[in-house]
């Protein structure tokens, strides 16, 4: 039985998959190879880059025009800026891959002597020259994880590829593909040897194109899910297919991980007579987040970087101030954390859920987990009671907690979300919407109560104008969000961050009657 793949390149006989070369503009790629171009393929982690490179290698070798070899240079990362160690790892990998993919042992016999004679700053170039000259078929070189190399080790590879460029195709690879998370022109390489920061574009100025491997399209997500249905008979309802698309926006690892968890890990999902429903996918999503799966953990680890914080913090706070550069934005987009298109936003709802929860993990752990006090006798949710309790907590503890956040500008919103997170732990869920310039954070509490699903909107705003202006804007925004979500009740929370105001003046609770119903307003 095939299954959804969540680790490593795909194997079509083992995994449900979208053919990797179908996800590339193959005509463009083959034209670049034929025309002797060196180019870049980049995409966020676990998007399918390696699978695409391996499929391209197999296609080129099957056609017989080229000798194509794929190498992964990540093993050179541990050498850091020890260029000789890194080059030994890379040359050994190149020889091994040539032998396994092509049955070619030429490099096996010469690479060590070349390294001894030409040193780490010339060995790769010399090895590629001799290998290209040893056979009339042109060489195509696919280098994966290029941005895993560090400092002078990365510079040594880039400069040796550039140094032999004029010798192609008879005495150097006809074409080379550099593959990693980031585009080479975005590299800022710290060279210890030169005591300088070297731009990747200057170290590798022979790049012809930069290609980006995108997420699955909606049709590709449905096609992947349908492969499981065709082979097992287990259906994904139309609503569930749409839910998976909406929550992942086609991010390949997320699509596969949700489906694998729901269909292969969870006991009910392994019963192929049962369709995969909404609840199964929501449960799978929560499991992935709570397990802090490596994919999500690697992504959230980047939140500690200053250039990531500069982009993400105003999204969380809803502020309109842009304190980041275009280079910062390009970096965070390359990581896959921010959507490629506008408006500026977190790439998908699962990441949007993970980010605030990761930033408030410690706070959540320290909150009292008692839940009974905000659940009514008939199993309903007393949101007013929750917000009253938070108002008291915020007055007493916000100064202490907000200072502990790395993302201080979004501190009040994060603290509220951490407080409300106990709802998820009690069987409900929170849906979040935030983005640059929204001037608010939208929270939707979804609470199952018997046969009903109840929805409550909480709109968060920071006081930036007069109180009445802020309330007027907030009421309009809350009403609009309630209408869009079909929520039965709305709450507007206004954070007054002015330090010259007494808490007695900041803290209040009132209610406004509107055509759409009543909205509670909470000041704090």
What is the spatial distance between Cα 318 and Cα 322, in angstroms, rounded to a whole number?
Answer: 11
CA distance to 57, 68, 385, per residue, from 105 (Å): 18, 14, 73
User: At 93, which CATH number?
Assistant: 3.40.50.300
CB of 97 closer than 8 Å to CB of 135: no
In the Cβ-directed half-sphere of 110, how many Cα atoms lie within 13 Å? 16
Q: Which of 376, 351, 395, 404 is nearest to 503 (CA)?
A: 395
- Give the domain-ending residue among 212, 233, 260: 212
488 and 427 in a common domain: yes
Residues 36 and 180 in one domain: yes
Instruction: State residue 403's pLDDT score.
Output: 81
Do 39 and 105 sit in the same domain of this protein?
A: yes
195 & 259 share domain: no
Residues 262 and 255 sit within 8 Å (Cβ to Cβ) = no
Q: How far is Cα 125 from Cα 132, in angstroms, rounded to an integer?
A: 11
The 3-state DSSP composition of the chain as helix, strand, coil percent (nearest 5) reads 55, 20, 30
How many angstroms from the chain centroid is the CA of residue 295?
A: 8
Of the residues 235, 260, 291, the one at which a domain ends: 291
Does residue 174 belong to any structural domain of this protein? yes
Please state, as a whole number, how many other Cβ atoms lie within 10 Å of the Cβ of residue 9: 18
**Region for residue 330 given its phi and psi (left: phi exceeds 0; alpha: psi -120 to 50; beta: otherwise):** alpha
pLDDT per residue, tens digit, the chain (524 aa), is 899 999 999 999 999 999 999 999 999 999 999 999 999 999 999 999 999 999 999 999 999 999 999 999 999 999 999 999 999 999 999 999 999 999 999 999 999 999 999 999 999 999 999 999 999 999 999 999 999 999 999 999 999 999 999 999 999 999 999 999 998 877 888 888 888 888 877 789 899 999 999 999 999 999 999 999 999 999 999 999 999 999 999 999 999 999 999 999 999 899 999 999 999 999 999 999 999 999 999 999 999 999 999 999 999 988 767 789 999 999 999 999 999 998 899 999 999 999 999 998 877 777 765 667 888 989 999 999 999 999 999 999 888 888 888 898 899 999 999 999 877 777 889 999 988 778 889 999 999 998 899 999 999 999 988 999 999 999 999 999 999 999 999 999 999 999 899 999 999 999 999 887 899 999 99
DSSP, residue by residue, 341-384: SSSP-BSSHHHHHHHHHHHTHHHHHHS----GGGB-TTS-B-HH
Question: Which 3 state secondary structure label does DSSP give 4?
Answer: strand
* Interatomic CA distance for residues 202 and 306, integer angstroms: 25
Q: Strands 429-433, 441-449: parallel, antiparallel or unpaired by DSSP?
A: antiparallel
Enumerate the β-bridge partners of residue 210: 40
Q: Which residues pair with 32 in a beta bridge?
A: none
* H helix or E strand, kind and range, residue 40: strand 38-42
Q: Name the E strands within 205-244.
A: 207-212
Which of 184, 212, 240 lies at the terminal end of a domain, its last residue?
Answer: 212
Same domain for 402 and 275: no
| Contact (CB, 8 A) for 425 and 352 | no
User: How far apart are the C-alpha atoms of 197 and 154, rounded to whole Å?
Assistant: 12
Same domain, 87 and 229: no
Is residue 304 situated within a structural domain? Answer: no
Do 154 and 69 fall within a single domain?
yes
Q: Would you list the DSSP string of 136-164?
A: SSPEEEEEESGGGS-HHHHHHHHHHHHHT
Q: Are residues 91 and 193 in the same domain?
A: yes
Dist. CA 306–CA 157, nearest whole Å: 28
Q: What's the rounded Cα separation, in Å, for the pair 381 and 129? A: 71
Distance CA 352, CA 337 (A): 9
Cα–Cα nearest to 487, from 414, 430, 424: 430
- Tell whether 317 is covered by a domain: no
Task: Give me the pLDDT at residue 368, please.
Answer: 62
**Total number of domains in the chain:** 3
Q: How far apart are CA 320 and CA 355, in angstroms?
A: 19
Same domain, 415 and 487: yes
* Phi, psi (rounded to 5 degrees) for 209: -150, 160
200 domain-assigned: yes
**Phi, psi for 142 (deg, rounded to 5):** -110, 115
Range of the domain at 460: 360-523
The answer to whether residue 4 sits within a structural domain is no
* Residue 219: how many other CB atoms lie within 10 Å: 11
Per-residue pLDDT, 188: 81
Claim to verify: residue 505 and residue 486 sit in the same structural domain: yes
In a domain, 316, yes or no: no
Does residue 14 sit within a domain? no
Q: Is residue 364 situated within a structural domain?
A: yes
- Find residue 460's DSSP bridge partners: 441, 493
376 with 277, same domain? no
133 & 62 share domain:
yes
């Amino acid at each position: 039985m095939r299954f959804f793949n969540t680790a490593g390149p795909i194997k079509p006989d083992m995994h449900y998959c979208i053919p990797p070369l179908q996800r590339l503009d193959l005509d463009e790629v083959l034209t670049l190879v034929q025309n002797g171009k060196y180019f870049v393929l980049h995409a966020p982690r676990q998007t399918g880059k390696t699978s695409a490179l391996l499929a391209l290698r197999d296609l080129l070798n099957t056609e017989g025009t080229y000798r194509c070899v794929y190498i992964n240079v990540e093993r050179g990362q541990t050498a850091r800026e020890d260029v000789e160690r890194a080059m030994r790892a890379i040359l050994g990998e190149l020889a091994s891959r040539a032998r396994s993919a092509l049955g070619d042992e030429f490099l096996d016999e010469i690479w060590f002597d070349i390294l001894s004679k030409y040193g780490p700053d010339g060995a790769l170039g010399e090895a590629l020259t001799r290998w290209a000259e040893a056979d009339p078929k042109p060489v195509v070189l696919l280098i994966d994880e290029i941005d895993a190399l560090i400092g002078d080790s990365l510079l040594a590879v880039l400069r040796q590829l550039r140094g032999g460029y004029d010798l192609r195709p008879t005495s150097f690879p006809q074409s080379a593909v550099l593959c990693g998370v980031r585009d080479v022109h975005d590299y800022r390489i710290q060279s210890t040897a030169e005591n300088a920061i070297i731009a990747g574009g200057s170290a590798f100025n022979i790049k012809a194109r930069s290609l980006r491997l995108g997420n699955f399209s909606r049709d590709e997500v449905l096609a992947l899910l349908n492969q499981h249905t065709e082979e097992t008979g287990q259906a994904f309802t139309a609503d569930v297919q749409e839910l998976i698309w909406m929550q992942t926006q086609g991010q390949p690892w997320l699509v596969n991980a949700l489906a694998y968890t729901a269909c292969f890990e969870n006991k009910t999902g392994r019963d192929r007579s049962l369709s995969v429903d909404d609840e199964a996918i929501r449960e799978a999503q929560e499991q992935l987040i709570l397990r802090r799966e490596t994919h999500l953990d690697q992504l959230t680890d980047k939140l500690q970087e200053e250039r990531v914080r500069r982009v993400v913090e105003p999204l969380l706070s809803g502020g309109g101030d842009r304190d980041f550069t275009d280079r910062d934005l390009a970096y965070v987009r390359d990581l896959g954390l921010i959507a490629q298109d506008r408006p500026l936003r977190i790439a998908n709802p699962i990441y949007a859920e993970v980010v605030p929860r990761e930033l408030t993990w410690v706070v959540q752990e320290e909150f009292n987990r008692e839940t009974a006090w905000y659940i009514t006798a008939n199993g309903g949710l007393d949101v007013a009671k929750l917000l009253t309790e938070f108002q008291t907590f915020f007055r007493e503890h916000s100064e202490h907690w907000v200072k502990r956040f790395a993302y201080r500008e979004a501190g009040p919103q994060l603290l509220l979300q951490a407080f409300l997170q106990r709802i998820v732990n009690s069987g409900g869920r929170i849906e979040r919407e935030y983005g640059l310039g929204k001037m608010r954070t939208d929270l939707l509490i979804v609470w199952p109560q018997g046969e009903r699903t109840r929805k409550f909107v909480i709109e968060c705003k920071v006081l930036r104008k007069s109180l009445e202006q802020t309330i007027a804007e907030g009421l309009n925004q809350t009403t609009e969000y309630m209408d869009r979500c079909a929520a039965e009740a709305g709450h507007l929370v206004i954070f007054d961050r002015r330090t010259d105001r007494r808490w007695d003046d900041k803290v209040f609770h009132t209610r406004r009657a509107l055509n759409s119903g009543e909205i509670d307003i909470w000041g704090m």
